[in-house]
Amino acid sequence: MSVNNGIMNIEIDDSKLITDIADKVIESLKPLLNSNTVQEDTLFTVESLASYLQVRKQWVYDRVHLNEIPYMKMGKFLRFRKSVIDKWLDKMKTPALQSLPNRIKMVR
């Protein structure tokens, strides 16, 4: 701290201040980040699976009825393991097209 023309100057260690601020921000965000992540061993209900896949519940019921989606039955309750659903989704991928050969020309 120094005094220059009656004005007090205070020096602050910027790197420590920045680190402290970043630590506080990270600590504040952790609960929000953790609550939105889905663990690999998660068991989905029909409702939560529909939300995860961003489809209607009826779509999930239709896939179950047609045996198109992997599921488990616990009494009358349907459950879906996230890791199995993710593998199922991977099998449904459409491969990207290879680049077109130079012989194809655009017709105008």
pLDDT in tens, 28-62: 777 666 655 567 789 999 999 999 999 999 999 99
| Distance of alpha carbon 62 from alpha carbon 46, whole angstroms | 11
The fraction of the chain above a pLDDT of 70, given in percent, is 74
Residue 106 has pLDDT above 80, yes or no: no
Local structure of residue 107 (DSSP, 8 states): -
Are 78 and 45 in contact by the 8 Å Cβ rule? The answer is yes
Mean pLDDT score across all residues of the chain: 83
